[in-house]
Every structure is written in C-alpha cells, then in structure tokens.
Structure 1
Amino acid sequence: MTSGLKTPSPYYLELITAFPPRPITNELEYQATQAQINKILDKPQLNSDDRAYLKILGLTIYDYEEQTESF
C-alpha cells in the first residue's frame, strides 16, 4: 500500500472521468483543455478538487506551450 496518497473524492473522479488529463499533442487538444479550464474558472466558487484539477490541466498546457513555442 502506498502511503501519503489520499483517496480521490467522488467529485474529483467525476472531473477526471469527464475530461481526463492527458499530454496535449495538437492544437485541438490544446483548445479543448483551455475550454475545460475556463469552464471550471467560471464557477462562482472553487473547491480544493477544482484547484488540484486546474493545476494538472495547467501543467499540460505549460508543457505543450514549451514544446511548441519558437524562439
């Protein structure tokens, strides 16, 4: 058994089931991830599960942008 990991709440499982976080590989996935982020940010109040999920989605956005930006 792994210690230190919390069991995800039913709400968090609902979030990741509806829009599973995955590495972004193209512009359509990038736009879909941005839309999912905006959908959550439009909520009147965010809970800890919303913030944790946003962090994961934000990391996927950051990673994609780092890979695709030309300098």
Structure 2
Amino acid sequence: MTSCLKTPSSYYIELITTFPPRPITNEAELIATKNRINSILDNRNLTQNDRDYLKVLGTLVYD
C-alpha cells in the first residue's frame, strides 16, 4: 500500500511540537488556540506549512 501523505518538513514538525493540535475542551484551551492562530497570522509571509497548520487549528476552534 502506498501513502499519499507527504513527509512533513522540519518547520511543520516544529509548529506541531511547539503547540500540538488537540481537541479543545475548555475556554482556556480555546483562548490559547486563538492566540496561537493570531501569532502565526501576525507573520506577513505565511508559508504553505503555516497555512496547513492554521487550517488544522481553525478546524479545532470551529468544532
């Protein structure tokens, strides 16, 4: 069986290691996740890795 997933870059690994995406279960976690999103959005030159990670975090906030 072949995998369609590409190997994550070291930068993406750093993103998920620094703030691992987890289900949000309380207000403090929601605020922390929103703060993380805002800190990444403050960077004017978003990479594809940033956009992918933001999509994951945004999905967690939406849910």
TM bin, normalised by shorter chain, reads: over 0.9
State the identity as a percent: 65
Q: Say if 2:8 is the partner of 1:29.
A: no
Aligned 1:14-53 pairs, distance under 5 A: 14-53=14-53
Once the 2 structures are TM-superposed, how far is the Cα of residue 26 of structure 1 from its aligned partner? 0.1
- Indicate the residue corresponding to 1:68 in structure 2: none
**How many residue pairs were aligned?**
63
Q: Match of 1:51, as an amino acid?
A: R
Runs of 4+ in structure 1 displaced over 4 angstroms? none
Gaps of 5+ in 1: 64-71
Structure 2, gaps ≥5 residues long:
none
CA separation in 2, counterparts of 1:16 and 1:59? Answer: 15
Alignment deviations for residues 6-27 of structure 1 (CA, whole Å, 9 cap, x no partner):
0000000000000000000000
- Measured on the aligned residues, the alpha-carbon RMSD in Å equals 0.9
Post-superposition shift, 1:3?
1.2
Q: Please, what TM-score do these two structures have when normalized by structure 2? A: 0.96
Alignment of 1:60-71 (within 5 A): 60-63=60-63
* Aligned counterparts of 2:2 and 2:34: Cα–Cα separation in 1: 32
Alpha-carbon offset, residue 2 of structure 1 = 4.4
Pair 28,2 (structure 1): closer, same or farther in 2 beyond 3 Å: farther
